[in-house]
Structure 1
Amino acid sequence: MPNVLVHTADESVTLSAQAVRRLLERGDGDAALLYLALLRHHGTVAPRSLAGELRWERSRIEAAEETLRALGLIAPAAESVPEPADERPEYQRGDIAQRLESSGEFRGLVSEVERRLGKKLTTPDVGVLLGLTDYLGLPADVVYLLVCHCDERVRRRYGEGRRPTLRQIEKEGYAWARMGIDTQKAAAEYLKKYTERQGALPKYMQALRLGDRLPVASEEKYLTAWQEMGFPPETVALAYDKTVLKCHELKWPYCNGILKRWHEAGLHTVEEVEKGDRPAPKREQAEKPGSDELRKYVRDLHRDRG
Structure 2
Amino acid sequence: MAPTSVLLPEGELRVARCDMLDKLIAVGDGDAALLYLYILRHGGAADAKVAARVLHLSGERYERAAFTLNQLTAPVQVSETDKPADAPQYTTDELRRARMDDHRFAAVCESAEATLGRTLTEGQLRCLLTAYDHLGLDAGAIIELLSYLKKEKGTVRLADIKREAYQWADMGIVTAPDAQQYLARRVNEKPLSDAVYRALGADPAQPAPKEQRVCRFALAHGFPPEAVELAVRRTDRHQGRRSLDYTLGILRKWDAGGVHTVSEITALEPEARAVVGQTTAQPTDSATLAAWEQDWAARVRSHRRKTEE
TM-score bin, normalised by smaller chain: 0.5 to 0.7
- Mapped pair 1:102 → 2:101: yes
Corresponding position of 2:90: 91
The Cα shift of 1:198 comes to 3.0
Pairing 1:270-285 to 2, within 5 Å after superposition: 270-275=262-267
Corresponding position of 2:79: 66
- Mapped pair 1:257 → 2:270: no
Alpha-carbon distance in 1 for matches of 2:79, 2:132 = 20
Q: Which has the higher helix share?
A: 2
SS in 2 for 1:259: helix
Return the letter of the residue paired with 1:94. Answer: D
The Cα shift of 1:194 comes to 2.0
Structure whose alpha-carbon radius of gyration is higher: 1
- Mapped pair 1:173 → 2:139: no
Corresponding position of 1:267: 259
SS in 1 for 2:79: helix
Deviations 1:70-104 (A, max 9, x none): xxxxxxxxxx897xxxx221111222222222211
SS in 2 for 1:119: coil
Corresponding position of 1:149: 148
Corresponding position of 1:136: 135
SS in 1 for 2:120: coil
Pairing 1:182-197 to 2, within 5 Å after superposition: 182-197=174-189
Ranked by relative contact order (alpha carbons within 8 Å, sequence separation 6 or more), the top structure is 2
Corresponding position of 2:112: 113
Corresponding position of 2:237: 245
- Mapped pair 1:217 → 2:203: no
Q: Any conservation in 1 of the 2:199–2:228 contact (CA below 8 Å)?
A: yes
Deviations 1:139-164 (A, max 9, x none): 10100111122222222xxxxxxx22
Deviations 1:212-268 (A, max 9, x none): x65652274133442233211121132133223323454332212211222344432
Alpha-carbon distance in 2 for matches of 1:67, 1:242 = 46
Corresponding position of 2:121: 122
Alpha-carbon distance in 2 for matches of 1:64, 1:248 = 50
Alpha-carbon distance in 2 for matches of 1:262, 1:134 = 45
Alpha-carbon distance in 2 for matches of 1:201, 1:67 = 36
SS in 2 for 1:138: coil
Alpha-carbon distance in 2 for matches of 1:250, 1:63 = 40
Q: Any conservation in 2 of the 1:197–1:224 contact (CA below 8 Å)?
A: no
Q: Per the alignment, do residues 64 and 238 of structure 1 end up closer, same or farther by CA in structure 2, a change over 3 Å counting? A: closer
Alpha-carbon distance in 2 for matches of 1:267, 1:189 = 31
Unaligned runs of 5+ in 2: 1-74, 272-309
Deviations 1:2-55 (A, max 9, x none): xxxxxxxxxxxxxxxxxxxxxxxxxxxxxxxxxxxxxxxxxxxxxxxxxxxxxx
- Mapped pair 1:199 → 2:191: yes
Identity of aligned residues (%): 26
Q: Per the alignment, do residues 263 and 89 of structure 1 end up closer, same or farther by CA in structure 2, a change over 3 Å counting? A: farther
Unaligned runs of 5+ in 1: 1-61, 70-79, 156-162, 280-306
* Between 115-124 and 193-202, the greater mean CA deviation after superposition: 193-202
Alpha-carbon distance in 1 for matches of 2:237, 2:223 = 20
Q: Any conservation in 2 of the 1:91–1:127 contact (CA below 8 Å)?
A: yes
Q: Any conservation in 2 of the 1:81–1:178 contact (CA below 8 Å)?
A: no
Deviations 1:189-230 (A, max 9, x none): 22123223332345335545x59x656522741334422332
Normalised to the residue count of structure 1, the TM-score between the two structures is: 0.54
Q: Per the alignment, do residues 257 and 167 of structure 1 end up closer, same or farther by CA in structure 2, a change over 3 Å counting? A: same
Alpha-carbon distance in 2 for matches of 1:254, 1:171 = 27
Alpha-carbon distance in 1 for matches of 2:141, 2:135 = 11
Q: Per the alignment, do residues 181 and 103 of structure 1 end up closer, same or farther by CA in structure 2, a change over 3 Å counting? A: same
Q: Any conservation in 2 of the 1:235–1:269 contact (CA below 8 Å)?
A: yes
Alpha-carbon distance in 1 for matches of 2:234, 2:183 = 33
Alpha-carbon distance in 1 for matches of 2:76, 2:249 = 43
Q: Per the alignment, do residues 63 and 123 of structure 1 end up closer, same or farther by CA in structure 2, a change over 3 Å counting? A: farther
Number of aligned residue pairs: 195
Return the letter of the residue paired with 1:145. Answer: E
